[in-house]
Amino acid sequence: MARPRRASVKLPPHVHAVKARGKLYYYFQPFRGTAREEARVKLPGAPFDPKGMPDGEWWRAYRELSGEAKDGPKRGTFAALILAYKASPEWNDLSPKSRSERTRNLKVIEEAWGDLMVSGLEARHVLELRDRHAATPAAANNIVRSLSSMMSWSIPRGWRTHNPCTRVKKLKIGEGYAPWNWQEIELFRSQARADLWWAAGLALYTGQRLGDVLGMLWSDFQGGLIGVTQNKTGKKLWIPMHAHLRAVLEDIPRSSVNILTSSRGSPWTADGFKSSWAEEMKREVMRPLRDNNRVFHGLRKSAVVFLLEAGCTDAEVSAITGQSRQMVEHYAKQVNQKKLAAAAVLKWESAEAGRTGNEFNPNL
């Protein structure tokens, strides 16, 4: 018969472990061994994984059995902090999209640490959580970013004295989605469904995200300008219409208050558009775009690159796209590097010709 054994970790009240066939099993049984002993209930899995990380499912089951869940999360835990954070004015000041993204990330955090005390969080725990999601670096970084924002919010409210996330480096994610070149844009314009090209054209000539493009209304156009309130940042932008954008708009039928509509004449939903876009990109004629991993968001990057190549300043580009000056400067460095490198090679070739009296001949 399997015997109860002392667990290697400190277990909460009314929980004991039983080892059978080399494996530990955990049970919840209030007042065990007394006249008030209640029925024993098996808990799922284990409170901690082999790396020492808490199992959210195990702790949720424990809280329900112990009655804690009925009275809300225990004071000082991550579950309690998340509730307080999401009820704050600072949370309400976030854009709907930012709240949605942080809600998703905070759910990951609560599943990992919901029943643990906020005061005990250390940088090594943040690293462990980040590395658990390292297969998707961007998602891992976003989880840490959301956690860091919540920690900063909690400090002046007495939950903590410092933010351990500041000592955790972000994972490298490369340069992200690449911008489209003019040949690729022309390929899509000439071969894609008209309603999909109209969306691509608006993204390209306004430099806006998909959600903002799909939400554009005919009434947003006033006196040669288009007004955009960005979903992610809440910024209100007035963007002058590019001549090519005017041509795109002239082709779009006015079947709705929204500029962009599906083939049925109704406003696009984000999911509906993404589904139609994915189907379009499966066509054989779109293979060059697939091979180069071209995605819709890359059109926004194309707008930034084309503006910079046209000689626009960082501030001018930022005024159109709504991006931070730091983000625009990042693109500017790439554009300027290409221009400087091209100028350097021309100078090199000129110097060679001056010394030899001839154009450079690799066969000499």
End-to-end CA distance of the chain: 90
Residue 354 neighbours by CB distance under 10 Å: 8
Of residues 344, 352, 347, 312, the one with CA closest to residue 331: 312
Of residues 271, 96, 286, 280, the one with CA closest to residue 198: 280
DSSP state of 166: G
Domain boundaries for CATH 1.10.443.10 within the chain: 182-337
Which pLDDT score is estimated for 357? Answer: 53
**Mind giving me the DSSP string for 180-219?**
PPHHHHHHHHHHS-HHHHHHHHHHHHHT--HHHHHT-BGG
Give the Cα-Cα-Cα angle 40, 21, 115 (nearest 5 degrees): 50
Query: Could you give the 3-state DSSP secondary structure of residue 222?
Result: strand
Which pLDDT score is estimated for 356? Answer: 56
Q: Which neighbouring-strand residues pair with 17?
A: 5, 26
Which pLDDT score is estimated for 6? Answer: 46
Domain boundaries for CATH 1.10.150.130 within the chain: 78-167
Which pLDDT score is estimated for 202? Answer: 95
Contact criterion met (CB below 8 Å) for 17 and 24: yes
**Mind giving me the DSSP string for 63-98?**
HHHHTGGGG-SPTTBHHHHHHHHHTSHHHHTS-HHH
Which pLDDT score is estimated for 361? Answer: 52
Instruction: Select the CATH number that applies to the domain covering 78-167 from these four: 1.10.287.610, 2.40.240.10, 3.90.226.30, 1.10.150.130.
Output: 1.10.150.130
- The whole-angstrom separation of Cα 213 and Cα 79 is 36
- The whole-angstrom separation of Cα 190 and Cα 194 is 9
Q: Over its length of 364 residues, how does the chain's per-residue pLDDT go in tens digits?
A: 455 444 455 678 889 999 888 889 999 998 888 888 888 899 988 887 776 666 778 877 887 787 665 556 788 899 999 988 988 889 888 888 888 899 999 999 999 999 899 999 999 999 999 999 988 888 999 999 999 999 999 999 999 999 999 989 998 876 567 889 999 999 999 999 999 999 999 999 999 999 999 999 999 988 889 998 888 777 888 999 899 999 999 999 998 999 999 888 889 998 899 999 999 999 999 999 999 999 999 999 899 888 888 888 888 888 898 888 877 877 776 666 666 677 677 777 777 776 655 554 545 4
Which pLDDT score is estimated for 1? Answer: 45
- The whole-angstrom separation of Cα 192 and Cα 213 is 18
Does the domain at 182-337 match CATH 1.10.443.10? Answer given as yes
Which pLDDT score is estimated for 219? Answer: 92
pTM above 0.95, yes or no: no
DSSP state of 4: E
